[in-house]
Structure 1
């Protein structure tokens, strides 16, 4: 079954069983403007966005400002400073890798055609006990029916969620693209980790991929079929060096260890060490 059909099935099942968390499209006031944002939803994602397609397609360089939690979002979840930093860094890493497909990533105070930033506006924690119970339940069919693949939905309790707003501006501070994004974990495609920040961490990469696609293509990342990853992005996902050295600032992906860790439900920081160069997140 294709990824699109699996996601569609997950969404249908979520409606029937209430096996999806919800994520509000909160606003933190970090965007230059919220005018002209249009709804553009995915199968599991809610969003409003706008993009100056001609400008972003003509742009060649982009500088990334580290992601941070808004004051409201930081106060609303029981995440430690390290957990917030790891989630923000996961967004930055995913955005950097995605933008590398077309843009030159510049650092520091270098001039660039676009300056992109993101602010986490909402996060709901994962219930570690429920996630752990889901992992135990998923093992039972393997014991009872060895060799027979039996998908077991995650227990629809304590599912986490994440909401983010982001934009790309030109050097004069004029908004050229913006996205307000929200997505919740679900019982069918979210692995579930035994950690309060588990779902928010996993959803961070999903946001980063969506926002970078908006800038790379000049179109909404939703409503189109999946595309095959490039050899460079696949290597990066598996823990290899990023296509552009500037993305090393956000550390390398956990690779195979991270994929295994997600599968068995270990906390994100067991496999992802982030980057020591990342400064602690600020709140507005």
Structure 2
């Protein structure tokens, strides 16, 4: 009897899962950057998730007792030495503020810049890894081409991926730090859509930072631990381009909503659909 080896058949779905998992693990490496904007860097503990690096600290009692919050517009102290267009950089910082305002509105009353608050929040962009525009354009063309034939997600090219590093803190009325976070994340081949802009990936990741830091303050605990909660109705409305819950958040403009999602799928630069802040910052 001739000897034969039976090779098991691999289902297409299983093969696709392997490809997708490999794609998620392939992401830009963005180290945590400790800047100079925080009042203190002491007492932080390492945290983060599968895609995010983070260090954080929080004093739960005063944070949970706070009822009002004021957002100081995000600044940028980029240490990489790369020069970015000021208008594009402003889109990144404003997207952080918009995400913070939306996330904090789940529990806090967000007040205007000229009003007192229990907590004052300020974030600083400490580094941006530029997105390679040529690689992003090639990835977009390839993705759209395959999508026209096969209904499967197409990973980006594993080159030219960008990233973002941010630090932030919440200060109490007496001037002491109540919470702080160092945060960094790189774009990955699957979940970060390629956009033909040097700040394309940083822009896409900005809202993720805003969500993580606001959740730290809303819950008073590590946002990377425990189950993720369903987004609130006000958060869903704001993400679709609706008016924010509090007037103070209108200073950061409205999210691009459906138009922005479509533009992201097509790889268009963020400035094509995001009008940025709606009032002087």
After TM superposition, the score normalised by the length of structure 2 is 0.90
- How has the CA–CA distance of structure 1 residues 40 and 12 changed in structure 2, closer, same or farther, with 3 Å as cutoff? farther
SS of 2:237 mapped into structure 1: helix
Q: Contact (CA 8 Å) 2:78, 2:128: kept in 1 or not?
A: no
Unpaired runs of at least 5, structure 1: 1-7, 280-284
Question: Residue in 2 aligned with 1:59?
Answer: 66
**Matching residue within 133, 138, 149 for 2:138:** 133
- Deviation, structure 1 residue 13: 4.2
**Matching residue within 152, 174, 177 for 1:175:** 177
Instruction: Describe how 1:130-209 pairs up with structure 2 within 5 A.
Output: 130-143=135-148, 145=149, 148-209=150-211
Question: Residue in 1 aligned with 2:125?
Answer: 120
- How has the CA–CA distance of structure 1 residues 9 and 230 changed in structure 2, closer, same or farther, with 3 Å as cutoff? farther
Question: Residue in 2 aligned with 1:4?
Answer: none
Q: Contact (CA 8 Å) 2:163, 2:186: kept in 1 or not?
A: yes
- How has the CA–CA distance of structure 1 residues 53 and 11 changed in structure 2, closer, same or farther, with 3 Å as cutoff? farther
Aligned length: 265
Q: Contact (CA 8 Å) 1:11, 1:43: kept in 2 or not?
A: no
**Matching residue within 250, 268, 271 for 1:269:** 271
Q: Name the stretch that deviates more: 33-42 or 77-86.
A: 77-86
- Deviation, structure 1 residue 218: 0.5
Q: Contact (CA 8 Å) 1:78, 1:196: kept in 2 or not?
A: no
After TM superposition, the score normalised by the length of structure 1 is 0.89
- Deviation, structure 1 residue 108: 2.2
Q: Contact (CA 8 Å) 2:78, 2:125: kept in 1 or not?
A: no
**Matching residue within 27, 30, 42 for 2:37:** 30
Q: What is the rounded CA distance, in whole Å, between the counterparts of 1:245 and 1:10 in structure 2?
A: 41
Q: Name the stretch that deviates more: 217-226 or 258-267.
A: 217-226
SS of 1:72 mapped into structure 2: coil
- Deviation, structure 1 residue 109: 2.9
For the pair 1:20 / 2:27, whether they are aligned, the reply is yes
SS of 2:79 mapped into structure 1: helix
Question: Residue in 2 aligned with 1:92?
Answer: 97
Unpaired runs of at least 5, structure 2: 1-17
- Deviation, structure 1 residue 84: 1.1
